Structure 1
Amino acid sequence: MAKTSVVNAPLFQLSAEVHIAASPAEVYAVVGDLARSGEWSPECVGGSWISGEPGTVGAVFRGENLRSTEVVAWAPVVRGTWFTESEVVAAEPGRTFQWSMRTRSGAKQDSIWAYDIEPADGGSVLTHRFRMGSPTEGIRGITAEMSEEQKSAFFAEWSEKLAGDLAITLERIKRVVENRPTEERG
């Protein structure tokens, strides 16, 4: 009998959306600035651009993250402060901003975070997406010693956590964009 695995492609594929009372250009001006992520992300508390022109394809961002002990508490995930590097893979003002997580050696992984923006009802619909096609370096480390049953439980709980993070992020971005004074919104 063939052995089956819980690791199917894509490993994660989630999205959420929110209507924002601002133009696609206004929304993009906010979400395309990863250094501001600490204003809306449940885990990223900030960071800085470490190479390339900030916000352009090929630019690299080093994010500072903070994860509590309650997040999938039984799994061996990183807790406290930790850092990531990501590379911008799409930057189309007013339309889409996407970045790929990188390995410790700087290679792009099949792990893409994205913001897509569409004009709608006098404002914009912002869609936040996450797709991990194959396990990243981090996921491989987390699940290395897990049984298939534990992996299945982990991926289910991590998917739930990610879905919650997407929704929280969008609500916070909506507040940030809609509460900006008109003169700042352009």
Structure 2
Amino acid sequence: MPASLTFEDSIHVEAEPSAVYAVVSDVTRTGEWSPTCRECWWDEDHGPRPGAWFTGLNATPDREWKTRSQVVVAEPGVAFGWSVGPGRVVWTYRMEPSGSGTRLTESWEFTSEGQAYFVERFGEHAADQVTVRSAAAREDIPATLAALKRIIEQ
């Protein structure tokens, strides 16, 4: 399997980077914009800061599962990201001033550690599962960004 798999996409949002950050760093709202994640909740006394933990509930037509994630970057108005597992998949939102608004970029990295975990968990079906997850990221990121744009610009 490759060292890591990555994908990212961007969208222009008519809002200041700090306003965009306020939305994307509130993981309790993730179900409003994510096609796969239905809801997230912080561990007690945690919030959008490096080292904080949260749980996510995900669902597809085929299955439902929970994930544990740890915030790896929380720079207001600049970037917010977390590591699922942790160490298996890294999701990051980056905000850059752009004209009258913000260029919002969402990135996904399926790490080599994550892929090794899939080999351990799925055995001979690991490559198929990696393909499924990669395709989901490529479909979900543009949909997520479009939903975030609608929500933030309301």
After TM superposition, the score normalised by the length of structure 2 is 0.91
- In structure 2, the gaps of 5 or more residues are none
CA RMSD of aligned residues (A): 1.8
- Contact kept? 2:68, 2:84, Cα under 8 Å: yes
1:18-75 superposed Cα distances (whole Å, 9 cap, x missing partner): 0000000000000001110000001111121014530111110111111112xxxxxx
Unaligned stretches of 5+ residues in structure 1: 1-6, 70-78, 103-107, 180-186
Equivalent residue letter for 1:13:
T
Q: Which has the larger radius of gyration?
A: 1
- Higher mean C-alpha deviation, range 114-123 or range 47-56: 47-56
Q: Which amino acid aligns with 1:56?
A: R
Select which of 35, 41, 65 maps to 1:48: 41
Counterpart-to-counterpart distance in 1, 2:98 and 2:89: 28
2:79 is the counterpart of 1:96? yes
One-letter amino acid of the structure 1 residue matched with residue 40 of structure 2: G
Aligned residue pairs, count: 153
**Could you tell me how far 1:161 is from its partner in structure 2?**
2.0
User: For the structure 1 residues 38 and 138, does the alpha-carbon distance in structure 2 shift closer, same or farther, using more than 3 Å as the test?
Assistant: farther
* Deviates most, 12-21 or 155-164: 155-164
User: Partner residue of 1:35?
Assistant: 28
Query: TM-score when scaled to structure 1?
Result: 0.76
- Determine if contact 1:22/1:123 at 8 Å carries over to the other structure: yes
Structure 2 partner of 1:82: 65
Q: Where does residue 74 of structure 1 map in the other structure?
A: none
Amino acid in the other structure paired with 1:9: A
- The residue that corresponds to 1:123 in the other structure is 101
Alignment of 1:8-19 (within 5 A): 8-10=2-4, 12-19=5-12
CA shift at 1:139, angstroms?
A: 2.4
The one-letter code of the counterpart of 1:63 is G
